[in-house]
Structure 1
């Protein structure tokens, strides 16, 4: 473990305290390595309570380099001061209470439960002895020969958010680090392992029931599809109850199970379901009535369900007391607090809080399509957590990226701090972390964080989306001039710690967000300073190398790996450097695009190349084919044609079934040059996120016009979560030579 010593500061601190102790206003626990105290645990202490006493002993030894004796009440020595670990005064403490107080020149550290006592020990170490834990292997521990504390300590705290989860590997893989920040070890504590979220398909699998009992599933139009369940079908209710009972029997120690919709909005539209939803004035109506029926059978357990997308709006029926409403903020704009830019969600929280005090918030704090992209939302985290706290929320799950993402350690640190105390000072949290974790480089990283957040505030119309892309910000907080300023700040940060290899590594990891934005800016060739050229190969190599050294393996939640990104980027560089007779040439569309790339056909020949996200310069066609004609302006020898297509299966973006190429001299009479069949037909195991080049080589012939026709699947297949909805194809640069 890397320990950062701030000896001068701490010595000054303790000298000052020691001066006051001479006036008998303080407790001197250790004086010049002479121990004047012992740690006392209660005689009936549980294993967990004893471990809390050991934690205190361990860190006091780290501070003063002496070991304080650990003893139980019955074995106390006649030592001047005691540090009691446990509720020695037998006060009436609530389950989550932490208490730190001085009495008769002794210190009492207590908690209303085993977990609360451990929290109290870490709170004591941090609040009164200035211990800091920045990452699992980086902590700041004072170094002093003396430990002196004031006599008037009287601190008591009960966190308003009782269950605090930050979806970060830093906590899940390092339980002691999670303990220090008072957050859970997993995303779904207390839940049945196989019943955490989106469970309808688990209770009634399509593979087992759809063909024999289509009536169990949602009616969409005039057809039953296995997207959701029919919640007014009595047999469905019985099967779900039996499944829930079976899972609780298998995991009797679990307290919670989710009975919740699949991850799509294809709810049942049968007459019975529709009637209930109309009565309830919300699609949550059928859900809450159904979940209440399940919950009645398990009064000693908690049945969790989702207020998510189509079920987010509160209904009229009150959830039973053992029903946990998990309210999800997935649609919200992250450029400002929820109360400012996601007022419909804010209204829904208020509505649910009037129906129940059993609310769990599922919030989102990173860009899931681009884990490493700059995502300036830190200024929104505190007002959002405060708003959740103020509306009956006792359980908050902050869905960070789980895997490393932009400023991963800082984000994890901030979220844990705010969940423990929503009213803590955000600026001080950030500065404390950057100065501690990045040391001399911290001032520059803080300046970067401040600058990029100020810049997004200068663009009040910008929608900062969880499923967005850095390319959307190249006219805003990632414009060319700002990117150059960010580069300068990180250059200074690296120079500041150049002689500290471990800290330099942390700075390079923090820089990955800017490096990624620069790579994508070059892909889109946003200015003369950001282009794809021969140097691009070394830039992507450095990026991939830094990621590997930091054990960063994923670019997004769809499983798109850093290796995939590196290889695809090299392919992009290769494509960009190829001669292209279509470059900048006029494109005429015979079919209509939708929404993306400004629906501009010139996206196909503009030299700006698409990345792994459909926001990144891809031209999209929903439910229809792509048919485009490129005018080369005069007849030219043609031997190869290539078009790139994107696949993001969870967003209904599939590769075309095939792509056909045609040539013409006059623009009226076309000769078919050939077709390229999709090498990777869609199936349940298809790669979620991918790019495929549909390349055709043909005998050299002269043509002025080239037609490209890509065949869309038209609709998602029945087994897909978007069954029946129109599918997309996304095309990018057409390369002709």
Structure 2
């Protein structure tokens, strides 16, 4: 399969598209057909936005978003009223009902249609109304929210729409991207129809769909049975490994471990009143099993260690019945093998974590072997989806060890999201940057992920083209060329695989690729030189190539003069400082590794003290 980015790059570069004209042309006003809705003209409208009486916080949000964007589009004021105050005028109606068979059964789905002069957004839940609102704004009116600081709200002096009737629902019930942009701008994430468990509506905090109890999102064994409290007095609570107790593991067959963990959980639930909520009962960030006689016996009886964990989880799930609490766990490292005998209770969320797979090749075609490679993962996801109907995925879209360096996985994103959907996953947590780290092409990656998590069949070609044209503007063509070059580094080498801890000297990040990318970025910088915003965006992405140059040179794998290296490291540090970009790796929260890296470069290059 040819990467869609490659074909797009060829088209864009050869045709020399006028960057800003494409989408506006798509929204140009054709002569209206005879049957149209005239929503606004000359900065005025006769329409009212109508909500149910006593609307929820989410329904309020939907109405406010409509009023805000419609004013930006038309210049008119769009009043919002409740059902009891409706007047004899055309309306955009937000309706919740269970009686319309054309509304999807999925509570997040919606029906969007015209009825006479009215536009109706109808759903079975407030969340569906919100997502139907964004569908109207996006699909019918041309609004786009590419990043928190790059949006498109097309201005229309006269706003007309032809009649329509459409419905949709998301492929995944849970859609989350772990990224700084999501944390900083929840409204932007909401507009992309993400529904992270970290979202809150201040007036009705329980309106959000997925609420992890604080401290219970993952890796909770250490919290449930804290070693600093119990290890000295009760070492038998912890896993026996090669004759010694390991505080990183729990002895899951010990009844006292379950009682201790349940007591901790109940105390936390008593303090945390929000319901419904999710609590993760999951291993620490490691693998392995207790080797005590009872755990060994159960593992032998089950045929695998996962069955031991399932027994433990089912006890929690049974104990919490009727409390509006959902149990979650990770299928991670040694727990990612589907159980042979004891299956999870139906309501438990199993989140499969393919931490070792290669994202550089298409999922069905990757030959990456090993216990955590793509071939093994295909067996695991098929096994889990065959026995459990509440499967989520934790996917990885960052290099944890070197967050600056290029990560060639954007060309395969659509295929992987479809792959997860095809195997009946109901949720996806996509892990990207967690702070200000300059992860490779993260803004494009986040936009694509959000759109694909709603509809995996979305045209990724069109999404990429549109994003590049509006985010990189004058530099869209060379940035498309860079995407194609990055995809080609790995796509044409079936036996060379990517990993989320790859080093900068990985074979696919060759000196030839560095030279090719330098030439591409020279064109991008030249194209953007008269637009300070675009120029800065190109420079931020160029950090990836500058990081490769510096690391290759530091290892003696690249021949550059000291003067050139000092110039590059100065540019690297300036762009990082001006854009508040910190952290070299997953755990470099204090920016110590990145600053030490810069000092090492300058020392080897012979910089004068203080420079």
TM beyond 0.5: yes
Cα distance in 2 for partners of 1:187, 1:58 equals 24
1:142 to 150, 154, 157: 154
2:524 to 490, 493, 498: 493
Cα distance in 2 for partners of 1:163, 1:258 equals 15
Cα distance in 1 for partners of 2:223, 2:561 equals 47
> Partner of 2:365: helix, strand, or coil?
helix
TM-score by length of 1: 0.73
Whether contact under 8 Å (2:295, 2:308) holds in the other structure is yes
2:183 to 161, 172, 190: 172
Cα distance in 1 for partners of 2:24, 2:74 equals 11
1:389 pairs with 2:421:
yes
1:312 pairs with 2:343:
no
Cα distance in 1 for partners of 2:383, 2:25 equals 53
Residues 534 and 351 of structure 1: is their aligned pair in 2 closer, same or farther, counting only changes over 3 Å? same
Cα distance in 2 for partners of 1:9, 1:324 equals 41
Whether contact under 8 Å (1:52, 1:117) holds in the other structure is yes
> Partner of 2:433: helix, strand, or coil?
strand
Structure 1 residues 82-161: aligned runs within 5 Å: 82-87=91-96, 91=100, 93=103, 94=105, 95-151=107-163, 153-161=164-172
RMSD value, Cα: 2.3
> Partner of 1:20: helix, strand, or coil?
coil
Whether contact under 8 Å (1:187, 1:397) holds in the other structure is no
Structure 1 residues 326-345: aligned runs within 5 Å: 326-341=351-366, 342-345=374-377
Q: State the Cα distance separating 1:77 from its structure 2 match.
A: 4.2
Cα distance in 1 for partners of 2:424, 2:522 equals 46
Structure with bigger strand share is 1
> Partner of 1:498: helix, strand, or coil?
coil
Residues 504 and 572 of structure 1: is their aligned pair in 2 closer, same or farther, counting only changes over 3 Å? closer
Whether contact under 8 Å (2:235, 2:245) holds in the other structure is yes
Whether contact under 8 Å (1:166, 1:187) holds in the other structure is no
**Which of structure 1's runs of 4+ aligned residues deviate more than 6 A?**
none
Cα distance in 1 for partners of 2:314, 2:604 equals 57
1:40 pairs with 2:71:
no
Whether contact under 8 Å (1:7, 1:143) holds in the other structure is no
1:426 pairs with 2:437:
no
Whether contact under 8 Å (1:64, 1:144) holds in the other structure is yes
1:210 to 219, 231, 235: 231
> Partner of 2:526: helix, strand, or coil?
helix
> Partner of 1:445: helix, strand, or coil?
helix
Cα distance in 2 for partners of 1:428, 1:155 equals 21
Partner of 2:37: 27
1:191 pairs with 2:203:
no
Whether contact under 8 Å (2:197, 2:212) holds in the other structure is no
Q: State the Cα distance separating 1:72 from its structure 2 match.
A: 3.4
> Partner of 1:432: helix, strand, or coil?
helix
CA displacement, residues 358-396 of structure 1 (integer Å, 9 cap, x when unaligned): 112111111111111100011222222112212231121
CA displacement, residues 613-640 of structure 1 (integer Å, 9 cap, x when unaligned): xxxxxxxxxxxxxxxxxxxxxxxxxxxx
CA displacement, residues 394-442 of structure 1 (integer Å, 9 cap, x when unaligned): 1211111222312121111111111111111112111111111111211
Partner of 2:251: 230
CA displacement, residues 132-190 of structure 1 (integer Å, 9 cap, x when unaligned): 11111221111221111111x11101112011001111112211101101113456941
Gaps of 5+ in 1: 579-737
Cα distance in 2 for partners of 1:571, 1:6 equals 43
1:537 pairs with 2:549:
no
Whether contact under 8 Å (1:532, 1:573) holds in the other structure is no
Cα distance in 1 for partners of 2:585, 2:441 equals 15
Partner of 1:400: 432
Cα distance in 2 for partners of 1:516, 1:186 equals 34
Residues 118 and 6 of structure 1: is their aligned pair in 2 closer, same or farther, counting only changes over 3 Å? farther
Cα distance in 1 for partners of 2:22, 2:216 equals 52
Report how many residues are paired: 563
Cα distance in 2 for partners of 1:560, 1:338 equals 32
Whether contact under 8 Å (2:44, 2:75) holds in the other structure is no
1:412 pairs with 2:446:
yes
Cα distance in 1 for partners of 2:494, 2:258 equals 47
Q: State the Cα distance separating 1:260 from its structure 2 match.
A: 1.3
> Partner of 2:273: helix, strand, or coil?
coil
Structure 1 residues 523-602: aligned runs within 5 Å: 523-528=554-559, 531=560, 533-559=562-588, 562=591, 564-575=593-604
Which structure's relative contact order is higher, taking Cα pairs within 8 Å and 6+ residues apart? 2
Q: State the Cα distance separating 1:566 from its structure 2 match.
A: 3.8
CA displacement, residues 90-121 of structure 1 (integer Å, 9 cap, x when unaligned): 63544111221112132112232222211111
Partner of 1:698: none
Cα distance in 1 for partners of 2:23, 2:195 equals 33
Q: Which of the pair has more CA radius of gyration?
A: 1
1:363 pairs with 2:405:
no
Cα distance in 2 for partners of 1:182, 1:307 equals 26
TM-score by length of 2: 0.87
Cα distance in 2 for partners of 1:250, 1:349 equals 36
